[in-house]
Amino acid sequence: MRRLALISTALALVAPAAHADPNPTRAAYCVAALKARAEPVAQRLRGGETAAEAQLLPIVTASFAFIGTAYKQGVRSPQADDLVKAAEQAQAKLPPSELGKVQDTCQAEGQHLLASANVFERQFVTHAAHARIDRLRKRS
């Protein structure tokens, strides 16, 4: 855990200031949307369906791209948790078709954030996404 904090700090120090990055509220909204999209796929992975990992990885990676963006902007727990919780509550009121559109938009935006990141940031996000999937797999 200490290593992760050190890497996160290094990432914040070397990352350039973001001009077009989403604000923390938008990042949390997308994290919540992608979390909702990932959960049914994660359940399949925990159930032993190994093919679900290929579907889950881009969702989790896009989510971590938003998390990294918010981190670079100085957002930390519990503020980040509160923002995601508020976003989850707002999204609970959306019809499934609208939530699906939000998820599609957020996933594409997260992929764009990752593509625009520097090499170190991309490696960090990719590593975090793989580690998250490994933890999900072990929860079965």
- The CA–CA distances, whole Å, from 10 to 13, 31, 124 equal 5, 22, 11
Query: Rounded mean pLDDT of the chain?
Result: 89
Average pLDDT over residues 110-127: 97
**CB-based contacts of 28, cutoff 8 Å, min separation 6:** 66, 70, 80, 83, 84, 86, 87
pTM above 0.95, yes or no: no
Is the per-residue pLDDT at 4 higher than 80? Answer: no
Lowest mean pLDDT, pick from 13-17, 38-42, 60-64, 116-120: 13-17
Single out the residue of 36, 113, 28, 125 nearest to residue 78, CA to CA. Answer: 28
Q: What percent of the chain has pLDDT over 70?
A: 86
pLDDT of residue 140: 63
